[in-house]
A and B are shown apart, each in its own frame.
Chain A
Amino acid sequence: MTYERTWQTIESGPHEYKEALHPVVLKNYGKWKYHEMLNPGVMVHVGESGDELFTVRAGTPRQDSVDLLRRLCDLADKYADGYLRFTVRNNVEFMTPHKENIEPLIKDLEEQGFPVGGIGPLVTSIAHTQGWLHCDIPATDASGVAKSVMDSLYNDFKEWKMPNKVRLSTSCCSINCGGQADIAIVIKHTRPPRINHDILSTVCELPKAVARCPVAAIRPTTVNDKKSLMVDEEKCIVCGACFGACPAMEINHPEYSKFAVWVGGKNSNARSKPSKMSLVADEVPNNPPRWEEVNDIVGRILKAYQVGGKPWERMNEWIGRIGWKRFFEETELEFKIDMIDSYRHARASFNQSAHVRF
């Protein structure tokens, strides 16, 4: 049953988009006037033409099946003239000019288990990565962490309880494919790589692995007459970069690969400039299948932000106002010496002033 090719490849790039746009979208393209959030799951955009377009947003698992997508297509056909889109945080959106379709669409979505929400000052779901299901270097399963965290934050996705939007992410290694976020849950290894000298020179390009290390901790060596690499364990900052280049430098460990929690990554330029996230918890156990310890920390941070944040303050702006000391007090997280930066440009994060809160 060998396959005979007849098709000539067309390097067509991104799929054409015009056919994917609702006629009301096409008619008002670039001519929208304003929008209003009607509730946490629905917004309306009004065009200069006076046309109204309603958007209903719902959460998905991201790790989907054709069955699930066909069900979403059924809903789109029934209520949104056959169009749908997705957001960067894996939420599905149905856009329809038919106001009367909103309520039945929401009912159907909820009945099928898709939570309706995600618009406005709330938790907008969680960007996550491949994990054990598919990546070749993961220390955890991001889909499982995402599911566990969103189970706990279900109501925070559906109700306006936060000062501003909260973006979450989770990643299964320090490469952090999930990205910067208001709260990011990222694997942090705690032991240097374990080297398999028997196979290293056959599975790795040695100079490449050496060049990957951010602190020049890797040196060529010879073990049992075989070329190999060694790691200066004093110097090593357990980032795992070498493992990506060389599978014989195993960094993942069932016990010693743990989670760290970071806060204050802000993507938007609204008010303050975009900001990078900061480390606020580490040595959190990587504990499948429900990751309760991670969940507990995320919950504490959100609670404190919810109570203390003022309208429109993103996570980093709230912390900027109250200070890191109080952040640790309110969240009852422990500030540790390793949270003081010791890498390049560390000084930029030092308090170069006499400002202290007592």
Chain B
Amino acid sequence: MDNIQESVVASREVPAESETIEADVNGQVIKKNGKFLNETPMLDELENGPWPSFVTGLKEMAERNKKPMLRGVMDQLEYSYQTKSGYWKGGLVTVKGYGAGIITRYSMIKDKVPEALEFHTFRVQPAPGFHYNTKMLRGLCDIWEKHGSGLIALHGQSGDIMLQGITAEKAQECFDELNEAGWDLGGAGAGIRTSMSCVGPARCEQACYDTLQVHKKVLDAFVGAIHRPERNYKLKFKFSGCSNDCVNAIMRSDIAVIGTWKDDIQVDKEEVKAWIEKKGMDNLVNNVITRCPTNAISLEDGEMVIDNRNCVRCMHCINVMPKALSPGKERGVSVLMGGKNTLKVGTMLGSMIIPFYKVDTDEEIENFIELAEEIVEWWDDNGLDHERIGETIERCGMKQFLEDVGLEANIDMISAPRDNPYYKTEY
């Protein structure tokens, strides 16, 4: 490993004699062998193959905008590939009034790669549904390239735009310009996090509520808690328009808001007929009827009949026959809670808390926000350090949670009643 270290240092500082060097007025090397970047043989392997290469993209941009930070980051990344180790450490860079939103990174090998000394990331909240117009996106790129490296990840797993690579000195000015253009920072640390919503009613006929509007309003309501994290741990909302759950809300969010409906699936009989004519009766039987999880669909005299009382709103039949079937008209959301990944007690999926809630009118959305605030407050009061809300509920007991936040127990919350007698009733 030592040899590798030395060769990296050597390639940075001691150019071989055959190399041509151009320097700017300060004597800073700007080009070696006609290239701004140093050699990165391992990373270059990732330029092969048909999938678009982030290495190629990075190199192209660095050769154009000649930001020394990018050269340093490429050198450090190459060094990581050679030594199979990471070399970033955290710190605390913020903008005025905010305690979160910038992920601070300092190089641990700054002697080797001084140009990578600082490489902080802005988390920026995109518009709900990841919708952009080119004016917004170009404006974002221009501000970012003016102050930062020009490197962007779309998107982080919480739903942030990740603007990667800025120095602490430039952070405030960059933020001010972004903010003036309508952008705001996302969450980090022990606070409410940035959210995600599916494409929703903007394009999807299956959306049972306005995911974009509810996302915007709920996150606006928590905006202070996003910017000034002072909770036990992170808390994420995610918004999916139906139970296909395109944004993985049940797996990946503490509070998952999933569209659903109460009345009957809407059936266009002519289109059902057309579907059968086109795809065949076998297909209807094998791919629709027998795939319904509760056997709620049957054939009666050759006609498809749905037992709506036994339908669990899984979306399958609607997915297969989108022209013929659609969600009912009485629409709202189911709220599931407690989804999270590994740490600390292992992976948990969200579980049903509220089977049906209306979020159509401003007043209904306001009510939902009040309820969410109540829930977050409960978690503030009862949670331990680094405990996600699902873990808190499990530790304190669902009964305690429901009573404290004033929610009614309902049978949709469980897959079966308890199988042990370890409880006592009020006396």
Contact = CB atoms under 8 A, between A and B. Distances in A.
B314 A269 contact: yes
Interface stretch (A283-291, A300-308, A328-336): A283-291
B349 A252 contact: no
Interface residues of B, number: 130
A279 to B, nearest CB: 11
A14 interface: yes
Interface string A260-278: 0000010111111011110
B61 A143 contact: no
A151 B141 CA distance: 28
The CB with the most chain A CB atoms within 10 A, among B133, B245, B343, is that of B133
B345 A214 contact: yes
Nearest to A207: B385
A193 interface: no
B172 interface: yes
A63 interface: yes
Nearest to A288: B81
Contact of B51 (A87, A154, A268, A343): A154
Interface stretch (B24-32, B222-230, B375-383, B402-410): B222-230
B215 A14 contact: yes
B267 interface: no
Interface stretch (B7-15, B319-327, B361-369): B319-327
A268 B135 contact: no
Contacts of B216: 13-14, 16-17
A122 interface: no
B315 A269 contact: yes
If over half of A's interface residues share one DSSP class (helix, strand or loop), that class is named, otherwise mixed; here it is loop
B58 A65 contact: yes
A247 to B, nearest CB: 7
A78 to B, nearest CB: 10
Contacts, number: 352
A82 interface: yes
A301 B127 CA distance: 36
Contact of B57 (A64, A95, A115, A139): A64
Given A17-B128, A88-B196, A133-B73, A65 B57 contact: yes
Contacts of B43: 289
B246 interface: yes
A148 to B, nearest CB: 7
A29 interface: yes
A276 B340 CA distance: 11
A268 B243 CA distance: 6
B195 interface: yes
B85 interface: yes
Contacts of B322: 34-36
Contacts of A247: 89
Nearest to A343: B346
Nearest to A73: B134
B51 A20 contact: no
Contacts of B244: 268-270
A312 B179 contact: no
A346 B127 CA distance: 41
Contacts of B349: 274-276
A72 to B, nearest CB: 8
A197 B175 CA distance: 39
B204 A144 contact: no
Nearest to B104: A136
A61 B57 contact: yes
Interface in B293-337: 293, 313-316, 319-320, 322-323, 326
Contacts of B392: none
Interface string B50-73: 111111011011001000000001
A214 B344 contact: yes
A76 interface: yes
Contacts of B36: none
B51 A66 contact: no
Contact of A179 (B96, B215, B252): B252
B356 interface: no
Contacts of B84: 139-140, 254-255, 257, 286, 288
A150 interface: yes
Nearest to B152: A64
A129 B105 contact: no
Interface in A82-104: 82-88, 90, 95
B199 interface: yes
A68 B57 contact: yes
A296 to B, nearest CB: 15
A19 interface: yes
Given A268-B244, A290-B45, A85 B223 contact: no
A12 interface: yes
15 contacts: A12-B223, A15-B183, A17-B212, A32-B203, A35-B204, A61-B53, A64-B152, A65-B150, A85-B132, A86-B132, A147-B54, A179-B341, A268-B243, A290-B45, A311-B286
Interface of B: 1, 42-43, 45-46, 48-55, 57-58, 60-61, 64, 73, 77, 80-81, 83-90, 95-97, 103, 105, 119, 121, 125-138, 141-142, 144-145, 150-157, 162, 164, 172-173, 175-177, 179-180, 182-184, 194-196, 199, 201-205, 207, 210, 212, 215-216, 219-220, 223-224, 226-227, 243-248, 250-252, 258, 286-287, 291-293, 313-316, 319-320, 322-323, 326, 341-347, 349, 384-386
Interface of A: 3, 5, 7, 9-17, 19-21, 25, 29-30, 32-36, 45, 53, 55, 59-70, 72-73, 76-77, 82-88, 90, 95, 113-115, 127, 129-141, 143-144, 147-148, 150-151, 154, 174-180, 208, 211-212, 214, 239, 241, 244-245, 247, 252, 254-255, 257, 265, 267-272, 274-277, 286, 288-290, 311-312, 343-344
The 9 tightest CB contacts between A and B, nearest first, are A151-B49, A254-B84, A63-B54, A32-B205, A269-B243, A132-B80, A30-B201, A20-B131, A65-B61
Given A16-B216, A178-B157, A180-B341, 18 more contacts: A10-B184, A17-B131, A19-B133, A30-B207, A66-B152, A69-B154, A86-B130, A88-B246, A88-B247, A115-B50, A136-B105, A174-B343, A180-B252, A271-B291, A271-B292, A271-B314, A272-B293, A276-B349
